Each structure stands twice: as C-alpha cells, then as structure tokens.
Amino acid sequence: MIEQYGWSDTLRLAFEPHARAGHVPGRIVVQQREAHLVATAGGNLSARLSGRLRHEAREAGHPAAGDWVALSVKAGEDKATIHAVLPRRTAFVRRAADSVQTLQVIAANIDVVFVVTSMNADLNPRRLERFLAAAWQSGARPVVVLTKSDLCEQPESLAAEIATLAAGCPVLVVSARQDHGLGGLRDHIAPGETCVLIGSSGVGKSTLVNALLGEERMATQDIRAADAKGRHTTSHRQLVLLPGGGMILDTPGIREVGLVEADEGLSTVFDDIENLALNCRFRNCGHSSEPGCAVHAALDEGTLDAGRWAHFQKLSQELASSALMKSQVVHEVERRRLALLQKTYRTSKRDLRSL
C-alpha cells in the first residue's frame, strides 16, 4: 500500500532511527492547517504535529504535501501524531508575495513539475519564465503543459513559440475536452513517481487530474466569461494515486511565484542569454553601453527578444534584492539573539550577587 506512494529502500534506510523509536512511516496526502491527512500502511490517518515539531516548525517551516513523516499511532484509533519529517529529495518552493522570509513549500519529494497554462487568455510568456525558473530550482523535471488547445486556432505553432523560451524542457499540447494529448502527459509519470500541477486558477489543472483518473473526483468550475480568469475552485493541495501507478498533486491556482535562491533555475531558463554574454568583449560587461556587447548585438539583430531580456534583468534583480534582504534579516535575528544572551547573562550575574 505504502509502496504505491513511492516508499523505497532509500526511504526505509533513512527511516531506521524512527522505526527503532517505534514510529511508523507515512506520506502527507493533504496538508491542512491543523490535522494533515497521511497515507500509511494501515490506511489514511488524520495526524497532528507533536508539540516539539510544532515549535521547530516555526523556524524550519511546516511539513508539506508529499513529505514523508514519522508517526505514532494509538492502537484502535485513526488519529496519529507526527514526530519528524524525513529529509526532502526535492521541493517546489515559493516566496510569499508580501514577504522575504516566508517560504512556502508547495510540494515535497516530487519528480515532475507540470507548469500548466491554457492556450487562451491566460498564456503569458513572462509568467511561464518565472514558473519555469522555480520549477528547475525544485530539483524535479519541469514539463510545460499547454491546455485547452481546442480554444486555439493554431496550437502547434504557438507551442513551438513557447518551446523557444522553455529552455529545452518538453512542451505538451493537451485538450481535456477533446481527449487530446493526455497520453503524452501520462508518459511523463512513471510508477512510484510524484508529479505536481502548478498554474493559475482556471487553466484546467483539476480537469486534467479527472481525465487521468477517468472519473470526476476533483471539483471544477467554469472560468469567468469577462476576463477568462478562474474562480479558485481547488482549495487545498491533494496527492492522488493514478490508475497506471504514480501520483499527481493538484494545487490551488497560484498567480505569482516569488523566486527564492533560484539562481540556478534562472540560469537554466535563460541559458540562451548566459551563453550570449560569454561572447561580450569584456568579461565584466554590464550589457548597457559597452562596446562589443553581444547581448546588445543580439537585441539589435532581433535574435534576442527585448521583452525576454528585460524580464531576465528584472528577475535577476529580484533574486539579488531578496538575497540582500534575507542577509539583513539573518543579521537582525542574530543581533537580537546576542542581545537576549547578554540580558540573560546580566540577570544571572545579578542573581548571583543577590545570593
């Protein structure tokens, strides 16, 4: 049973100390505020964090859908306590839009990230670049899924255009309505592997899961006629077992992915620009007005799209400033810790004197 969820020899080895403590392994299927739904060898359980883990989670973050955890289960109950989270193999992470510090793990231990966007009004090359940078950074394999091809006049030529900015990752064209391209999607999900669907609300993520399942298990809803935007139908992240083996995680629509420590991901997506820059006359070329700048030559010739170049600069700046703010935050936390230590030290000296 638990093998279906991807339990492996590597995990068994990592779990040994927890097994010795009398705990059983499980995988978080639905992440919720209070009690998570966890798949175990004995079936699904509702599990809460232990007091210690809850305390640690304030710094280290909460367990996420896809995480493997160590549980204690009381005999005869379907409730359990989570004592530890196993190290993650991969994780799709985003920075909450309003904060430098708050990282959100959307999916843990995933093998494939399907970056889903529909071929109608939702299609936005700049958003795709951003999602792809985060997807590469996750450690999983990114795959672009262009949905609702039935609403597009020339889906194949649009897909070819998208492929030029997708940095070598596969681009699939699907229509759930016309049952087109779903086999291609399934080919990317091997037995025991975990995939996650990432994309805006209304692009058809839940519809794809239903098509792969062959039943209407996920709720779906019409997009708004006025602006083709979704209605945020899916409210939680849920890991679903697929009939042919493998799992897929449906997620609520996200419009924005704040990048965090995604330098490698960014380099992969903009690999064409990084290669161009190698041909600049000066090694430290700032690509502004330097002579012999290969980036500017490409922009003049039209071989590099101006929008893509501007977006690369924007994302690079975003990463640099989030790194700077993070180091300032770390600095501030350390300063407060030292101040607290000194205060404790002063009080204990006073205590000593009063003895």
Ligand X SMILES: Nc1nc2c(ncn2[C@@H]2O[C@H](COP(=O)(O)OP(=O)(O)OP(=O)(O)O)[C@@H](O)[C@H]2O)c(=O)[nH]1
Q: Where does this chain bind ligand X (CB under 6 A)?
A: 147-148, 150-151, 175-177, 201-207, 220-223, 230-234, 252-253
Nearer to ligand X, 222 or 301 (CB): 222
CB 90 within 8 A of CB 108: yes
The secondary structure of 234-246 as a DSSP string is --S-EEEE-TTS-
CB 157 within 8 A of CB 129: no
Which secondary structure element, helix H or strand E, spans residue 328, and what is its range?
A: helix 306-354
In total, the chain counts a number of residues equal to: 355
Beta bridge partners of 91: 108
Do residues 240 and 189 lie in contact, with contact meaning Cβ atoms separated by under 8 Å?
Answer: no
Residue 204 among known ligand-binding residues: yes
Name which of Zn ion, ligand X, none residue 287 binds, using a CB cut-off of 5 to 8 Å depending on partner kind: Zn ion
Q: Is 201 annotated as a binding residue?
A: yes
Q: Which of residues 291-310 bind Zn ion (CB under 5 A)?
A: 293, 295
Give the helix/strand (H/E) hosting 276. helix 271-277
Stretch of 15-23, 25-33, 55-63, 287-295 lying at the interface with Zn ion (CB under 5 A): 287-295
By the 8 A CB rule, do 97 and 258 touch? yes
Closest CA to 265 of 92, 144, 145: 92
Among 287, 298, 311, 312, binds Zn ion (CB under 5 A): 287
Cα 193 to Cα 246: distance, rounded to the nearest angstrom: 5
Q: Which does 246 bind (CB under 5 to 8 A by kind): ligand X, Zn ion, none?
A: none
Binding at 232: pick from Zn ion, ligand X, none (beta carbon under 5-8 Å per type):
ligand X
Report in angstroms how near the CB of residue 32 gets to ligand X at its nearest: 17
Residue 206 annotated as lining a ligand binding site: yes
| Span near Zn ion by CB under 5 A; candidates 102-110, 275-283, 301-309, 322-330 | 275-283
Q: Which is nearer to ligand X, 199 or 265 (CB)?
A: 199
Contacts of 14 (CB under 8 A, 6+ apart): 86, 87
Under rule CB under 5 A, residue 266 binds Zn ion: no
Residue closer to ligand X (CB basis): 137 or 220? 220
Per the annotation, does 148 bind a ligand?
yes
- Asked if 276 touches Zn ion (CB under 5 A), the answer is no
Contact 83, 100 (CB under 8 A): no
Rounded to the nearest whole angstrom, what is the least distance from the CB of residue 252 to ligand X in the complex? Answer: 5
C-alpha–C-alpha distance, residues 137 and 260, integer Å: 9
Contact 237, 106 (CB under 8 A): yes
Q: Which does residue 66 touch among Zn ion, ligand X, none (CB within 5 to 8 A, set by kind)?
A: none
Q: Which of ligand X, Zn ion, none lies near 93, with the C-beta cut-off 5 to 8 A by kind?
A: none
Q: How far apart (Å, rounded) are the C-alpha atoms in residues 205 and 107?
A: 15
Residue among 150 and 290 whose Cβ is closer to ligand X: 150
> In terms of CB distance, is 143 or 293 closer to Zn ion?
293
Near Zn ion by CB under 5 A: residue from 249, 285, 299, 315 = 285
Q: Which is nearer to ligand X, 24 or 115 (CB)?
A: 115
Treating both helix axes as pointing N-terminal to C-terminal, what angle do 155-165 and 125-137 enclose, rounded to 10 degrees?
Answer: 50
CA angle 59, 62, 63 (to 5 degrees): 135
- 171 near Zn ion, judged by CB under 5 A: no
The answer to whether residues 137 and 264 touch, using CB atoms and an 8 Å cutoff, is yes
Residue 128 touching Zn ion (CB under 5 A): no
Q: Count residues binding Zn ion (CB under 5 A).
A: 5
Annotated binding site: 147-150, 199-207, 280, 285, 287, 293
- What residue ranges bind Zn ion (CB under 5 A)? 280, 285, 287, 293, 295
- Binding site listing for Zn(2+): 280, 285, 287, 293
